Amino acid sequence: MIRPILKYGDSVLHEKTRIVDAITADIDRLIDDMIETMYAAPGVGLAATQVGLPLRVFVVDISVGRDPKGLMIFVNPEFVERDGVQLEEEGCLSVPGFNATVMRPMRAVVKGLDRHGDPQQIEGAGLLARAFQHEMDHLDGTLFVDRLRGIKREMIVRKIHKLTRAGKW
């Protein structure tokens, strides 16, 4: 089932998430829904907070469904390592229509559980490292806009407030 994606300003997006105690049928259904929602959007990642649940779950597929082995599911993820720096433009399904250059690690190693509760550890570089950091930020209540400073951040937030007042956000 495709779920609605929350937009910047919704309180759930700014909450720290809770650990998933057990991978139940509800969590399994959530994961299926998140995958379907991410591909329909289309996006390269989606965190549970973006569909309204403050749980430590995210899905990523930088191939956007073109590579059957590209889909990664993390439950209760944590960073093991991060290093290097990349500056690239990025957007977010919860901040549609806005992009900005954000500093991210060039390489990131994330560990957590897969959808079956088995431990996994995956290393990502480039876009995958960026996606890992972006989704982990969501799990900590941070959006890419929150990482911006100065005029760029002010412009985006101001435009979002204007769209909200006009009923278009």
Q: Which residues are catalytic?
A: 135
CA angle, residues 164, 167, 169, in degrees to nearest 5: 50
In the numeric block, which tokens belong to residue 7? Answer: 């937009």
Residue of 48, 18, 16, 19 whose CA lies nearest to 32: 48
Neighbours of 56 (CB within 10 A): 23
Under 8 Å CB-to-CB from 1, ≥6 apart: which residues?
32, 33, 36
Residue of 55, 72, 74 whose CA lies nearest to 128: 72
Are 143 and 137 a contacting pair, CB within 8 Å?
A: yes
In the numeric block, which tokens belong to residue 37? Answer: 């929602």
